[in-house]
Amino acid sequence: MQIFYARYLAALPVDAIQCIAQTRRRDRCPYPVLAPDTPAGEWALLPVTAPKRHGKLAPLTANMAIYDLTHLSYAEQLRWRTQHCPAHAAAPDVAHIALADWEVFDPRLHHQHVHTRLPAAARKRSRRS
Ligand SMILES: [Zn+2]
Determine the distance separating the centroid of ligand 1 and the alpha carbon of 112, expressed in angstroms: 30
- Yes or no: say if 29 and 35 are a contact pair by the CB < 8 Å rule: no
Determine the distance separating the centroid of ligand 1 and the alpha carbon of 38, expressed in angstroms: 14
Q: What is the rounded distance in angstroms from the CA atom of residue 3 to the CA atom of residue 74?
A: 10
> Average pLDDT in the 56-74 region?
83
Determine the distance separating the centroid of ligand 1 and the alpha carbon of 75, expressed in angstroms: 15
Determine the distance separating the centroid of ligand 1 and the alpha carbon of 30, expressed in angstroms: 7
Say yes or no to pLDDT of 21 above 80.
yes
**Could you tell me the pLDDT band of residue 70, with boundaries at 50, 70 and 90?**
very high
Strands (E), 23-118: 42-47, 63-68, 103-104
Specify the higher pLDDT residue, 77 or 53.
77
Determine the distance separating the centroid of ligand 1 and the alpha carbon of 23, expressed in angstroms: 8
- The strand pair at 2-3 and 6-9 is best described as antiparallel
Q: What is the rounded distance in angstroms from the CA atom of residue 34 to the CA atom of residue 32?
A: 5
Report helix, strand or coil for 115: coil
Assign residue 31 a region: left if phi > 0, alpha if psi is -120 to 50, beta otherwise? beta
Quick one: pLDDT at residue 19? 97
Determine the distance separating the centroid of ligand 1 and the alpha carbon of 28, expressed in angstroms: 8
pLDDT digits (tens, 9 = 90+) for 90-121: 987 899 999 998 999 998 899 899 999 998 87
Please give the model's pTM, rounded to 2 decimal places: 0.84
pLDDT digits (tens, 9 = 90+) for 30-62: 999 999 889 999 999 998 875 555 555 555 567
Determine the distance separating the centroid of ligand 1 and the alpha carbon of 90, expressed in angstroms: 10
Q: What is the rounded distance in angstroms from the CA atom of residue 49 to the CA atom of residue 61?
A: 8
Determine the distance separating the centroid of ligand 1 and the alpha carbon of 101, expressed in angstroms: 15
- Yes or no: say if 57 and 49 are a contact pair by the CB < 8 Å rule: yes
- Yes or no: say if 50 and 57 are a contact pair by the CB < 8 Å rule: yes
